[in-house]
Amino acid sequence: MSGGKTPYKIAGQTDDGEALRQAARINDLEKLKELISKGAEVNSSYIGFTPLRWASLYGHKEAIAVLREHDARDDLFSAGARGDADALEEMLSATGEARGDVLTPNRGDETALMWTAQGGCTEGHLQCIKLLLKAKAQVNAKDQHGFTALMGASQSGHVEIMKILLNARADVNAREHEDGETAITMAMHCAQNEAVKCLIEFGATMPAGHERE
């Protein structure tokens, strides 16, 4: 490792690919366009994260537009995160390899439902949640940390999405793996008072060890 340099390159982690993903993540349009004009791979991916997924997750509409103009590959994660119900429905209605699979997680075991629940609470996001559930998305799926879609919606204060998930039998008292946090403790930590009220209405209880929070 002479000079502190990595002696090999991780797949998808080339300099241009990482720079492109970073530009999409922070909505740096000038850098994004510059890299694309120089031939950076618009669909470069590192552990499942593409430039379009990053831009969609953070709601960067300008970056999303630039990437899609240059044929960035869309998927359920990206469409759900940005609340694009039309694109998501088209993918779910497609056949063969073009069809989006709601049961396929990314490498961190996150699902499209989780990304959608945390991405926003617009009418588009609500429709995306309903479409994913109709397509048999697992409402209580957990990522590698035990995080659920309901937890994401709760800590973000997306109450209308929470209600849809809870009415679809989301486990209101599910606990994540590390600290035993639940949707209600996460909502409390993020000062999401309306989310806390909603969870209580659906039977949330304080987990052992968190009663005094």
Structure confidence by residue, pLDDT tens digits, 110-157: 999 999 999 999 999 999 999 999 999 999 999 999 999 999 999 999
Dump the DSSP string for the chain: -GGG--SS--TT--HHHHHHHHHHHHT-HHHHHHHHHTT--TT--BTTB-HHHHHHHTT-HHHHHHHHHTTPPP-HHHHHHHT-HHHHHHHHH--GGGS--TT---TTS--HHHHHHHH--SHHHHHHHHHHHHTT--TT---TT---HHHHHHHHT-HHHHHHHHHTT--TT---TTT---HHHHHHHTT-HHHHHHHHHTT--PPTT-TT-
- Return the higher-pLDDT residue of 114 and 46: 114
> 14-73: CATH homologous superfamily?
Ankyrin repeat-containing domain (1.25.40.20)
Across residues 164-175, what is the average pLDDT?
Answer: 98
Asked if residue 13 has pLDDT above 60, the reply is: no
Averaged pLDDT score across all residues of the chain:
89
- Return the higher-pLDDT residue of 49 and 153: 153
Report the pLDDT value the prediction gives residue 211, as an integer from 0 to 100.
Answer: 56
Give domain 79-213's CATH architecture: Alpha Horseshoe (1.25)
| pLDDT band per the 50, 70, 90 thresholds, residue 1 | very low
| pLDDT band per the 50, 70, 90 thresholds, residue 91 | very high
Sequence spans of domains, the chain? 14-73, 79-213
Name the pTM for this structure.
0.85
Q: Please determine whether the domains at 14-73 and 79-213 fall in the same fold group of CATH.
A: yes
